[in-house]
Amino acid sequence: MTSPHDLIEGFHRFREQHFTDDDALYRQLIQDGQTPRTLVVACCDSRVDPALVLNCAPGDLFVIRNVANLVPPVESRGGGYHGTSAALEYGVCTLGVEHIIVLGHADCGGIRALIEAGGANNPESFIDDWMHLVEDARASVERDMPNATLEARTLACEQRAILGSLANLMSFSWIRERAEQGSLTLHGWYFDMENGQLLGYNPATRLFEML
């Protein structure tokens, strides 16, 4: 198990790698600022760090992480805190990213719990309130796959939740306009941890296919 001491030792190794006289990466990032071309909406799950899974260097990705890698629909700016929406706005409108990837994954605890419970039913839970975003996906799975195993229904809901987030992205005018103009492309990806595979949604076949 990683302790704070382990993390501090890790930082010193990181510093030795990136803050030496012959390593220009961070000098360039500090001088020029961040210019990532890709924004990733990923899950908080400790096994699904997009920079590690996608083998990226510092500065390559602008990353938003939340429970179950969800994108809420556009809402009024009053009456709440909109961390995911704010990060999307910064990535798209300020950084000018060219791609948004919604990166789902297998064995998602939030979605599995939603399937097992038959919905987000606890009004006192922040997680349940957030997971209401997946209710349409969950209901469609239960309707279409009533006799399937828990594992099959969870996988289907994980993938349908990605599609729901892609649809919600298009509810933001500044995303929709750029997507329609061709300056921004949206992607739905699914990381199959058990088999070590990365799948992408193909709108033509309406399937997640190996990348």
Q: Domain segments of the chain: what residues?
A: 1-33, 34-210
CATH superfamily of the domain spanning 34-210: Carbonic anhydrase (3.40.1050.10)
Nearest 5°: CA angle at 39, between 33 and 44? 110
Residues 6+ apart with CB under 8 A from 118: 142
Rounded Cα–Cα distance for residues 67 and 174 (Å):
24
Model confidence pLDDT, tens digit, residues 13-55: 988 888 876 677 888 888 888 999 999 999 999 999 999 999 9
Query: For the chain, how many helices (H) and strands (E)?
Result: 9, 6
Give every residue of the chain whose pLDDT is below 50, as ranges: none
Rounded Cα–Cα distance for residues 29 and 35 (Å):
8
- pLDDT for res 21: 67
- pLDDT for res 1: 61
CA contacts within 13 A on the Cβ side of 33? 5
Global pTM? 0.94
Calculate the average pLDDT of the chain.
94
Q: Are 188 and 169 in contact (CB under 8 A)?
A: no
Rounded Cα–Cα distance for residues 95 and 211 (Å):
27
- Helix axis angle, 150-169 relative to 109-117, nearest 10°? 110
Q: Are 172 and 152 in contact (CB under 8 A)?
A: no
Among 50, 62, 57, 92, smallest CA distance to 74 is for 92
DSSP state of 74: P
